[in-house]
Amino acid sequence: ASITTEELIKEIKILNKIPNMCGIIVQLPLPKSIDKRAILDSINPRLDVDCLGISASEKFYKNYDSRTDLVYPTALACMALLDSLGLSLKGKIIVVLGQGELVGRPTAELLHSRGLTYLAIDSKTENKERLLQQADVIISGIGKGKYITGNMIKQGAVLIDAGTSESDGGIVGDVDLESVRNVAGYVSPVPGGVGPVTVAMLLNNVLTVAKRHALTDIARFCRLFSIGNSF
């Protein structure tokens, strides 16, 4: 690609100004010659459906409203899969494995917003194995292929696998599916689990932006109607 960071930012700023634009996505990874952070931060936060720009991220962590705000799609997908199981999570031991930008940290924030208690585990956490063995629910996004095995979890544990890595020319998750098959109560497969739901949640963010536009248009029409009736 011959485009420069400055040229790409200019194009994004043009898109930012298009009326009724419902989302802007930057397909990663970008060429090494492009400043990824500058590009992501140039997206209007109201159109940042991936939530990768600093402004959109700060909005999510500081003043998140589940009814109107954009959410990290992968984190929302993890929660959607949990919701689909119909389990009561109150009082459950929930472990979030990994504190990355796309999965661990935002998923932990969504759990917190629901009043749920969780344990956040990263590379510096001591006694990781013991904590995992006690967990009723494990949400993993560390990107270490087949890291979680059957002897690391309790019987009936729920595993939401949002990690991906390459292995023997294919894609595997953080969970060793064969190893946990007779132990886990539920495990989301990789591929075919969190990934497709993430796409759906990304489109849900697009729909959220579209609804904002619709409400704005309705409000504008009502103001015009009111002004027209005043004559």
In Å, what is the CA distance from 168 to each residue of 73, 142, 158?
A: 28, 19, 27
In Å, what is the CA distance from 42 to each residue of 20, 48, 52, 55?
A: 18, 10, 10, 9
State residue 228's pLDDT score.
45
What pTM value is reported for the model? 0.87
pLDDT 10s digits, 188-229: 999 999 999 999 999 999 999 998 888 665 555 444 444 444
Mean pLDDT score across all residues of the chain = 90
CATH number for the segment(s) 1-70 = 3.40.50.10860
Indicate the domain borders of the chain.
Answer: 1-70, 73-194
State residue 169's pLDDT score.
84
In CATH, what is the architecture of 73-194? 3-Layer(aba) Sandwich (3.40)
